[in-house]
Chain A
Amino acid sequence: MTYVIIIIGAIFVNNIVLNTFLGICPFLGVSKKIDTAVGMGGAVVFVLTLAVLVTWLIQHYILTPFGIEFLQTITFILVIASLVQMVEIILKKVSPSLFQALGIFLPLITTNCAVLGVAILTIQKDFGLMEGVVYAIANAIGFSLALVLFSGIREHLDLMDVPKGMRGIPIALVSAGILALAFMGFANLV
């Protein structure tokens, strides 16, 4: 039951993009087409889950036992950066087709604050390993959902007659606001 609450909470109620404001850069940057949005979403699901798994183990078996929690920020960002690099190398060797699909999105993920943010949130919320991984997957799905919905909206916006001053980023941001407004309807669901 707790898992269900974690999943619904992370995807709909506290959506990572539209409510917590993490991962806004890729949300605005790669949302011009639905295809690329789906690719980016897939890459984030993959990396975020791995990152939370590894950072959780590091926090509970290295940082806490030795009393060096203040090194959390430095450790986590380095782990995430090397993890992304490693995933890239392994994927290239093991599954070239998947690498083709996710390839260009992987390097971008290091600077996706959603990854570091969720890793830190998992520690702050005192989740166990299983809960942490479920939380990570749910957040990544929430990110992908928001990204794909938003790219669908933006594809339609391209065909609209938008006032000149509002074209591009301004109208995209206002639409994102309306999307966030819609997601507020999920508040108090769990």
Chain B
Amino acid sequence: MNQLANFTKGFIKENPVFVLLLGMCPTLGVTTSAINGLGMGLATTFVLVMSNLVVSLVKNFIPDKVRIPSFIVIIASFVTIVELVMQAYLPALFEQLGLFIPLIVVNCIVLGRAEAFASKNTLLSSIIDGLGMGLGFAFALMLLGGVREILGSGAIFGLKFLQGDGMLVFVLAPGAFIALGYLIALINRLKKTA
């Protein structure tokens, strides 16, 4: 497969959030601001690339029957690394994302790519696939976080451009569902005309 197409498919065509509808919990849970969404997306990207890399390397040594548990152990190890590193160097972001960092383990995108892609493809394509999918996920989270931040608090990346509070509901739980619903409808529309 063309490596460029392999890399770019994660952004729109097979975007994990808008098209495949995977990993919805962190998508809705952490996107109260663009920066949180980006942080979560990049943490997931790291786990995705590293687990794709390792799965692709060991795919021939793992018996078929125990492959899913093995993949989960590999993923969980990298999640633990992210958890410890973030706690040490980015304590503020770690505090914000909280529970959703250990929950990267059960993010369906990571296991999904390991099972559907890395366990069948070469090392290089697996890494590129992980990078593309991860950045696509980060892009989706940043977009949703940005929309919620603009509507909810009249700011973007923490810079306020409106006086007052904005529509508070978009920062709260219901706004996450509503904003994502309309974004998916919009992306579907864009895909049709493109």
- A77–B77 Cα distance when bound, in Å, is 11
* Tier of interface size on chain B: 35 or more
Q: Main SS of the interface on chain A?
A: helix
- A72–B87 Cα distance when bound, in Å, is 15
- A187–B182 Cα distance when bound, in Å, is 26
Instruction: Please determine whether B83 and A73 come into contact, CB atoms closer than 8 angstroms.
Output: yes
Q: Closest A residue to B18 by CB, please name it.
A: A169
Q: Is A171 an interface residue (CB 8 A)?
A: yes
0 or 1 for each of B1-44: is its CB under 8 Å from A? (1 = yes): 00000000000000000000110111111000000000000000
With A165-B188, A169-B181: A77-B174 Cβ-Cβ less than 8 Å: no
Q: A-B contact count, CB below 8 Å?
A: 113
- A178–B177 Cα distance when bound, in Å, is 8
Instruction: Please determine whether A23 and B25 come into contact, CB atoms closer than 8 angstroms.
Output: yes
Q: A21-B28, A24-B24, A170-B181 are in contact. List 11 more A-B contacts (CB 8 A).
A: A18-B174, A74-B73, A117-B25, A165-B185, A176-B181, A177-B174, A177-B176, A178-B174, A180-B173, A180-B177, A184-B174
Interface residues, chain A, with chain B CB atoms under 8 Å away? 18-25, 28, 70-74, 77-78, 81, 110-113, 116-117, 120-121, 124, 165-166, 169-174, 176-178, 180-181, 184
Would you give 21 A-B contacts (Cβ < 8 Å), ordered by A? A21-B25, A21-B29, A25-B25, A70-B80, A73-B102, A78-B69, A78-B72, A81-B72, A112-B106, A113-B103, A116-B102, A121-B99, A124-B99, A169-B21, A170-B185, A173-B178, A174-B178, A174-B181, A176-B181, A177-B174, A177-B175
